Structure 1
Amino acid sequence: MKILLDFLPIIVFFVVYKVSGDIILATAVLIPATLAQMAYTWFKTHKIEKMQLVTLALVILLGGATVLFQDKTFIQWKPTIVNWLFGIAFLGSHFIGSKTVVQRLMESSIELAQQTWRRLNLGWVAFFAGMGVLNLVVAYGFSEDTWVNFKLFGMLGLTLLFILAQGVYISKHLPQQHKQD
């Protein structure tokens, strides 16, 4: 349910764009859809994750600029900025604190060597950097319609493939007792 809720604003953006063919209108609808998602999340859990706050701020800032200036460039840069900010945060965790972001998120479920946690985290840094670049390649090298499709299906698909690859990597680095369970 949480994953559907997280993707709801982008699904609304996608549907409005596909029905209207108007990226400015789709962006104008994305802003209140994202605000409604945050309000619902707050109502249900009484907390908002930092990642959600960053996304909300960028949707309001870049989405607002898109609508105000009638220029799709701002909203097309949003996925790149989000990915690069996450990449910087994950990279920063190598130098700040005793644990990487990936370790903090997963260590309650998985036991791995410190070096493995660091490699996993660096994998996410590279993934976020690459996704940011790829978003710009699609935004500037292909049609608007292709970019909208890529934003929903391409980015989601690549993220799922990367998660699967990380799962394979993790399975090869689990302590022996976990592999036999």
Structure 2
Amino acid sequence: MKFLFELFPILLFFGAYTATKNIYIATGTAIVATLGQVIYSLVRHRKVEKMLWINLGLITVLGGATLLFHNSTFIYWKPTALYALFASILLGGWYVKRINVIEKMMGAQLVLPEAIWTRLLWAWALFFAGMAVLNVLVAFHYPSAFWLSFDTFSQCTPQATCDQLREDLWVKFKVFGTIGMTILFVIGQSIYLSRHITETPDGVAEVKSE
């Protein structure tokens, strides 16, 4: 249920875009949905997770700019801003305060050697950085995207048709690409950890040193 709750805004965003083919209606829907998440969390749980506040801030600022200036470029930058922020938090915590944020988040569930915690930190930081760059490539360098036919964009006319194809590609990447790659990354991480995990008497998963 928590996973579906977190996906709620992006699913509504995709639904609104699919129904209308209008990035501005979809963006407004995402803003309202994210605000609804925050209100629900405050009423139901009396607290809001930091991740949700961050997401609300970004969608409000960049989504609001998209609607205000009627320019979809702002919303295209939203995933990159979010992933870059995550990577910065992980690496900033490590280099500035020598804090492993991944260990701080997962340390209650896993007992890992320091070396493995460090690998997980770098793996997530590089994943987030890579996703930030990939979003820019899809959003702003779409003609060279390898999964498109060679002349899809070079021959499209008028310009409005090209813009619509660009939006369609980016929306599909945002919904299916980012979620799919995140799931695959988590599965890969789980497979890596499963080679070493043993169960302790108190039920905490422990990973043996390599």
Q: What band does the TM-score fall into relative to the shorter chain?
A: over 0.9
Hey, what's the Cα distance between the residues in 2 that align with 1:176 and 1:19? 48
The alignment yields a C-alpha RMSD, in angstroms, of: 1.8
Deviation of 1:66 (Å): 0.1
Which blocks of at least 5 consecutive residues in structure 1 are unaligned? none
SS at structure 2 position matched to 1:59: helix
| Residues 10-29 of structure 1 aligned to structure 2 (within 5 Å) | 10-29=10-29
Which amino acid is 1:72 matched to?
A: S
Hey, what's the Cα distance between the residues in 2 that align with 1:71 and 1:50? 28
Q: Which moved more, 1:71-80 or 1:23-32?
A: 23-32
Q: Which moved more, 1:127-136 or 1:100-109?
A: 100-109
CA deviation digits over 1:65-95, x for unaligned, max 9? 0000000000010000000000000112213
Structure with greater helix share of residues: 1
The answer to whether the 8 Å contact 1:17/1:23 transfers is yes
Aligned residues: 180
Match of 1:153 in 2: 176
CA deviation digits over 1:127-147, x for unaligned, max 9? 000000011111123321011
Normalising by structure 2, what TM-score? 0.80
The answer to whether the 8 Å contact 2:110/2:207 transfers is no
Which amino acid is 1:69 matched to?
A: F
Deviation of 1:167 (Å): 1.1
Hey, what's the Cα distance between the residues in 1 that align with 2:105 and 2:192? 17
Normalising by structure 1, what TM-score? 0.93
Match of 2:33 in 1: 33
The answer to whether the 8 Å contact 1:65/1:71 transfers is yes
Hey, what's the Cα distance between the residues in 1 that align with 2:84 and 2:136? 12
Q: Which structure's CA Rg is the greater one?
A: 2
The answer to whether the 8 Å contact 1:112/1:173 transfers is no
The answer as to 2:136 corresponding to 1:136 is yes
SS at structure 2 position matched to 1:94: helix
